[in-house]
Amino acid sequence: MNYSIFIYETAEDFAKRSDPARSEAHFGGWMKYFEGLRAAGIMRGGSGLMPPDTATTVKLRSGQRLVEDGPYADTKEQLGGFFMIEVADLDAALDWAAKCPAAATGVLEIRPNLPPMKQD
């Protein structure tokens, strides 16, 4: 099955990205993790996201365009990236999620993907 894993990171983990003393170790951990996913042949895509303060949220209500700065979800941990994996079942997805560098400090959300869209 194909799962998406959304990585909700703490402010502290976001800060590591741009901290010269910690960024190398931080990104090194992620690279190693993704190498593991690729080596297992289960990686199906993914992206790191710029921090939540770069987010822009839009919606259309009664024909009016509404734009807000910042992320939609007002959560303690914030979305920092996502990736997709192809694994046998939810247990396998949870096993991989538990190895993710953000698991010990942040929150991982695991969601099965819909099959690719059909064009009639």
Give the chain's radius of gyration (CA, Å): 16
- 82 lies in the binding site for other proteins (CB under 8 A): yes
Q: What is the DSSP letter of 54?
A: G
- 112 lies in the binding site for other proteins (CB under 8 A): yes
Among 22, 26, 33, 107, binds other proteins (CB under 8 A): 107
Residues 69 and 54: their CA atoms lie apart, in Å, by: 8
Residues 54 and 17: their CA atoms lie apart, in Å, by: 14
Q: Which residues bind other proteins (CB under 8 A)?
A: 2, 4, 6, 8, 17, 34, 38, 43-50, 52, 54-61, 65, 71-75, 77, 79, 81-84, 90, 94, 97-98, 103-104, 106-114, 116-120
